Amino acid sequence: MQPFAKIEHGLVITFNKGIYRQVALYERNGNLFAQHGSGFVKLYPEGRTGIPSMAWKDIDSDVFKFVKEPFGLRITGPKKRLQVAE
């Protein structure tokens, strides 16, 4: 089993039911997750998450670059910032 690993200086801005939150960014098996309460929610392209009512608006990391894939966002290399178009 591979545990969730916190991405140093990685942040995600999430939006759920009118509330924005800035939360920690995590990686597991190359996929990206946002901290959600005491658990984690998977991040998908175009601002979608594993929770239908929740979206992500911005991802920032000093370390990793991300690529959008149909089944999630994956780490690919050096730094990049992702934003969802409003």
pLDDT digits (tens, 9 = 90+) for 25-69: 998 888 899 999 999 999 988 889 999 999 999 888 766 666 777
Q: Say if residues 9 and 63 touch (Cβ distance below 8 Å).
A: yes
Q: How many residues does the chain have?
A: 86
Average pLDDT over residues 11-37: 92
Average pLDDT over residues 10-31: 92
| pLDDT score of 86 | 40
| pLDDT score of 83 | 46
User: Which residues on neighbouring strands pair with residue 74, listed in sequence order?
Assistant: 31, 67
- pLDDT reading at 82 higher than 60: no
Handedness of CA 22, 44, 18, 5 (dihedral sign): negative
- pLDDT reading at 74 higher than 60: yes
The number of domains in the chain is 1
Domain span holding position 32: 5-83
Q: Say if residues 84 and 58 touch (Cβ distance below 8 Å).
A: yes
Closest CA to 37 of 52, 58, 16, 57: 16
